[in-house]
Structure 1
Amino acid sequence: MIEALRTPEERFENLPGYNFRPHYLEHANGLRMHYLDEGKIGGRTFLCLHGQPTWSYLYRRMIPAIVAAGHRVVAPDLFGFGKSDKPREDAVYTFDFHRDSLIALIRALNLQQITLVCQDWGGLLGLTIPKKMPERFDGLLVMNTALGTGDRPLTQGFLDWRAWNNKNPDMAIAKLMQRSCPQLSPAEAAAYEAPYPDLHYKGGVRRFPNLVPDSPDAPGAELSRRAKEFWQNDWQGKSVMVIGMADPVLGAPVMHGLRKVIRNCPEPIELPEGGHFVQEWSDLFIAQALERLG
């Protein structure tokens, strides 16, 4: 079993806009994964995947709109994030570790008619999963992310972010989110920091930039290249792309390149003021996105 930390529940009391009932799945490795499960079971399921340094709190604005449209939302916290357990050893966090945990969740809940909703690492991981279980997926809402194929140079913006991340192991998450999303209230920005009482809880957060495949033989790169072929040639579902145009790392150039990979992906919804964490601008696009998905 993997030794892990578990954030005290009182850290999550009275978070603004986050009044959802928690659900937990015990994995075979002994770790407990938290996920939200809102809306009716039996129709389309929106599987909402977060990235670094966020957690399911990132989707608090989108969940009510999706549920009001008659759908189910499942939004997990990756291990090391949110209310999920946080392995003590940084080396535990690998590309396959995170990906396998999401596949296990999908199977355990027997999710069907899935619309993959992904951004940042939610996409780096999530975009590789439909290739493995295509019968479960029929929709895609993709925002400010990429496929980590390892066969192209990483952008300077990402390299700068990785260097900063590595120099700041006790990342000030609330301050980062406030800078990235100036519309956040102080309490909302602080909510992003809630899962992490101190730096010992932040192993999963600080590991992600170093897990991005940066060579053809890096872990996850081959999976991502196979996923690219799937999206180019085999994808049959509906797709919607939303771009936060103010994102300096995974903005318009990266996203327009990704659009060419996704079969029959229509023109994106572009938000000039939207940043990397474009879910925080979801009031501007969620109704249009849901209409496009049908």
Structure 2
Amino acid sequence: MRALDLQDITLAGQNWGGPVVGLAAAMNPERFTGAVFSNTYLRLLRKPPKVTPYFRFANMPLIADVAFRLLNLPLPLLTWVQGDPKSIGRREKRAYRYPLRALRDRTAPLALTRMVPTTLEHPTIAELALVDRWARAFAKPVELLWGCKDPILGEAWRVNRNLLPDANVPKTSAGHYLQEEVPEDIANAIQRVLAADRLFTRPPKK
């Protein structure tokens, strides 16, 4: 962004994409004029989180390293988190597996899983604090497009709405990976934010 001097950026982030692009915006706030978030979590933790068995397992040394590589986790669980399990069929599974087909390539999913805070002293807390602060101050067009059948983050729109009280919140029956179930809804949300941004930034008539 800095090298190309990009301006008037509308960001879109889902799952870990939310904090990732949120951090980019927090570090370059003047470059962003709109945002679309889907099934993600932007708020800084204020109390120790409840750690699910999945994340407890992922943080077990050696055992999790072996399991994630051999079982190619979390790919076998993709359909479980969808509103419509058929939305991730054979072709989609093959596409998700493609960059992770070799054992040596399977470190990233485990690394991302271990980035989820399990304590208030977790290394990602400092960056999430920046994202939280940016979101609370962001006063440009925002949509929270949500998949309410997501067993992981289906109710998290409420938390994010507290950070972004003026956000529009279109809800869908999709699961975690909205891009596989409601891609048109994502495109429409981005288009609405772009249109709202043009009205928002249009200079007043003389």
Q: 1:107 to 1:222 in 2, by over 3 A?
A: same
Higher RCO (CA < 8 A, seq sep 6+)? 2
**Identity value in percent:** 25
- Pairing 1:187-202 to 2, within 5 Å after superposition: 187-202=91-106
Number of the residue aligned with 2:139: 236
Larger fraction in helix: 2
Q: 2:18 aligns with which of 123, 146, 158?
A: 123
Q: 1:291 to 1:211 in 2, by over 3 A?
A: closer
Checking the alignment, whether the CA contact within 8 Å between 1:150 and 1:217 is kept in structure 2 is no
Cα distance, 1:205 vs structure 2: 1.1
Number of the residue aligned with 1:269: 170
For the residue of structure 2 that corresponds to 1:285, the secondary structure is: helix
Q: Determine the C-alpha separation between the residues in 2 that align with 1:197 and 1:283.
A: 26
Alignment of 1:176 onto 2:77: yes
- Greater Cα shift, 160-169 or 194-203: 160-169
Q: 2:27 aligns with which of 112, 129, 132?
A: 132
**Structure 1 gap ranges (5+):** 1-105
Checking the alignment, whether the CA contact within 8 Å between 2:75 and 2:96 is kept in structure 1 is yes
Larger fraction in strand: 1
For the residue of structure 2 that corresponds to 1:117, the secondary structure is: strand
For the residue of structure 1 that corresponds to 2:36, the secondary structure is: strand
Q: Determine the C-alpha separation between the residues in 1 that align with 2:31 and 2:146.
A: 25
Checking the alignment, whether the CA contact within 8 Å between 1:240 and 1:265 is kept in structure 2 is yes
For the residue of structure 2 that corresponds to 1:169, the secondary structure is: helix
Cα distance, 1:287 vs structure 2: 4.9
For the residue of structure 2 that corresponds to 1:240, the secondary structure is: strand
Checking the alignment, whether the CA contact within 8 Å between 1:243 and 1:255 is kept in structure 2 is yes
Number of the residue aligned with 2:122: 218
Q: 1:257 aligns with which of 146, 156, 159?
A: 159
Number of the residue aligned with 1:99: none
Checking the alignment, whether the CA contact within 8 Å between 1:112 and 1:136 is kept in structure 2 is yes
Cα distance, 1:164 vs structure 2: 5.2
Provide Cα deviations, 1:38-68, integer angstroms capped at 9, x if missing partner. xxxxxxxxxxxxxxxxxxxxxxxxxxxxxxx
Cα distance, 1:127 vs structure 2: 1.6
Number of the residue aligned with 2:178: 278
Q: Which amino acid in 1 is paired with 2:33?
A: D
Provide Cα deviations, 1:168-211, integer angstroms capped at 9, x if missing partner. 31225553334444223312211110012222211111111211
TM-score by length of 2: 0.77
For the residue of structure 1 that corresponds to 2:123, the secondary structure is: coil
Number of the residue aligned with 1:246: 149
For the residue of structure 1 that corresponds to 2:144, the secondary structure is: strand
Runs of 4+ in 1 over 6 A off after TM superposition: none
Q: Determine the C-alpha separation between the residues in 2 that align with 1:191 and 1:222.
A: 34
Checking the alignment, whether the CA contact within 8 Å between 1:244 and 1:275 is kept in structure 2 is yes
- Greater Cα shift, 215-224 or 132-141: 215-224
Q: Determine the C-alpha separation between the residues in 2 that align with 1:175 and 1:212.
A: 20
TM-score by length of 1: 0.56
Equivalent residue pairs, number: 183
Q: 1:211 to 1:124 in 2, by over 3 A?
A: same
Q: CA RMSD in A?
A: 2.3
Cα distance, 1:139 vs structure 2: 0.8
